[in-house]
């Protein structure tokens, strides 16, 4: 394995399948399709929330995964999908209402900022490859990363339901979607539970169509629920080019979006450690390459109109359930995603999802982002009886949630950026007095 660029992937038919092993080729391909299904709901929801073309996002997630596979030399099992860490900063940089589920008129400006962020992420990976990973733990301990991740979800809280506030029926459909996802999360088992976002979205959309189209529920009045119209789906071609968009570079947008690189580092760091624990393989030697691959994939994605990408927790969940960690499966996953990206009919089907259903899924996703930040605190036993942790968490949550904005000459730093840099700066300052904090 060490003497070749890629692993040799020894065939194995049962038990735990290591990263350098594989099932028979057909089964490996099926595993790849399953990974795409697992990430599909979230990687499609991401671009919809930001006003991006989901077909482009799917296509670029496949291309990004292939880049990741090559740059990590097939040693790290991972799929790259749309990152939710960009939601708030993209919304501010492009003056777009996140979760309005309409095309983003300033998409090109956001793309330029995402490319700059990807470049910064690539440089961080290069630095890690050169000097190691110890500095990341000092700069971003759990109290910092937990606060930043929580802020991402809380910053978007109001956007989750703004599209349905004026319609009583849409509000009920939104709550129905939240309930549907919750029921699947609690009462289902196995892969169905792993696909809770996708399955909840599909079931809620079907119920919505039956009630609104079939029984006319909420279909009358000034703020009536919209009927589900299959015309665009039936008219769309099975194969065709997605709508690519070229980026435009503006320093203000770049300054707003670039700090997301810090969040992506924390996110990817956690994923690599999870993969190490599951596979029993030390992923630290590949960390620099993994970060560089993520950064490059983000730049390539945004250069064509796609979202920023990141390693996907959904796929880590699939590996945990199946005990199949073969990196070869992700090659098939990437190829399948690329095929889906070239299907206009798939794009039309995605656009058909009712707005209140998307709003309900947004409530869950944004909430999960916020709670995952709190989980970082809990898992790492962050001690909030210590004033330096307590003050840092309190200040960062309020500043980030309320989108506290600083104007620095011609640049504007939004709430997420202020929270990110503020958390790291405040930690460095307060840590000096931590020995007196008892």
* Higher-confidence position of 68 and 434: 68
**pLDDT, tens digit (0-9, with 9 covering 90-100), for 209-248:** 898 888 887 766 656 667 777 788 788 888 888 889 999 9
pTM value?
0.75
pLDDT digits (tens, 9 = 90+) for 108-119: 999 999 999 999
| Nearest in space to 255 (alpha carbons), one of 420, 370, 374 | 420
Alpha carbons 76 and 79: distance in angstroms, whole number: 10
Residue closest to 293 by CA, chosen among 63, 53, 72, 10: 72
pLDDT tens readout for residues 382-414: 999 999 899 999 999 998 888 787 776 655 666
Write 39-42 long-range contacts (CB < 8 A, 24+). 39/79, 39/81, 39/312, 39/314, 39/315, 40/198, 41/195, 41/197, 41/198, 41/201, 41/361, 42/81, 42/82, 42/84, 42/197, 42/312, 42/314, 42/365
Calculate the dihedral angle through the C-alpha atoms of 23, 29, 33, 39, rounding to the nearest 10 degrees.
60
Rounded to whole angstroms, how far apart are CA atoms 395 and 398? 5
């Amino acid at each position: 394995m060490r003497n070749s660029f890629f692993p040799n992937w020894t065939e194995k038919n049962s038990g735990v399948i290591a990263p350098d092993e594989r099932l028979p080729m057909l089964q490996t391909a099926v595993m790849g399709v399953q990974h795409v299904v697992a990430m599909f709901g979230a990687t499609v929801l991401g671009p919809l929330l930001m006003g991006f073309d989901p077909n482009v996002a799917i296509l670029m997630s496949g291309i990004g995964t292939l880049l990741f596979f090559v740059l990590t030399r097939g040693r790290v099992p991972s799929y790259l999908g749309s990152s939710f860490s960009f939601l708030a900063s993209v919304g501010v940089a492009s003056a777009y209402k996140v979760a309005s589920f309409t095309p983003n008129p300033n998409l090109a400006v956001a793309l330029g900022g995402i490319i700059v962020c990807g470049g910064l992420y690539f440089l961080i990976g290069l630095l890690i490859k050169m000097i190691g990973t110890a500095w990341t733990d000092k700069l971003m301990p759990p109290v910092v990363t937990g606060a930043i991740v929580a802020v991402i979800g809380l910053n978007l809280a109001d956007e989750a339901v703004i599209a349905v506030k004026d319609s009583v029926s849409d509000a009920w459909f939104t709550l129905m979607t939240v309930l549907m996802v919750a029921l699947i999360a609690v009462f289902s088992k196995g892969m169905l539970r792993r696909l809770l976002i996708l399955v909840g979205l599909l079931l809620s959309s079907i119920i919505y169509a039956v009630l609104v189209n079939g029984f006319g529920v909420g279909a009358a009045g000034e703020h009536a629920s919209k009927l589900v119209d299959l015309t665009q789906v039936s008219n769309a071609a099975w194969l065709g080019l997605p709508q690519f968009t070229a980026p435009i570079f503006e320093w203000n947008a770049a300054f707003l979006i670039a700090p997301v690189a810090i969040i992506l580092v924390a996110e990817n760091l956690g994923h690599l450690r999870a993969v190490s624990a599951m596979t029993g393989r030390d992923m630290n030697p590949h960390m620099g390459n993994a970060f560089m691959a993520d950064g490059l994939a983000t730049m390539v994605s945004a250069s064509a109109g796609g979202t920023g990408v990141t390693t996907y927790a959904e796929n880590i969940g699939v590996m945990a359930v199946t005990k199949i960690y073969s990196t070869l499966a992700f090659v098939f996953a990437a190829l399948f995603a690329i095929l889906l990206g070239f299907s206009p009919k798939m794009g039309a089907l995605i656009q058909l999802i009712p707005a209140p259903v998307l709003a309900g899924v947004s409530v869950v996703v944004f909430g999960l982002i916020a709670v995952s930040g709190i989980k970082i605190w809990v898992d790492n036993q962050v001690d909030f009886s210590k004033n330096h942790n307590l003050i840092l968490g309190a200040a960062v949550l309020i500043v980030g949630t309320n989108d506290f904005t600083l104007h620095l000459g011609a640049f504007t730093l939004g709430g997420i950026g202020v929270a990110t840099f503020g958390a790291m700066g405040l930690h460095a300052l307060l840590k000096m007095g931590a020995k007196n904090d008892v």
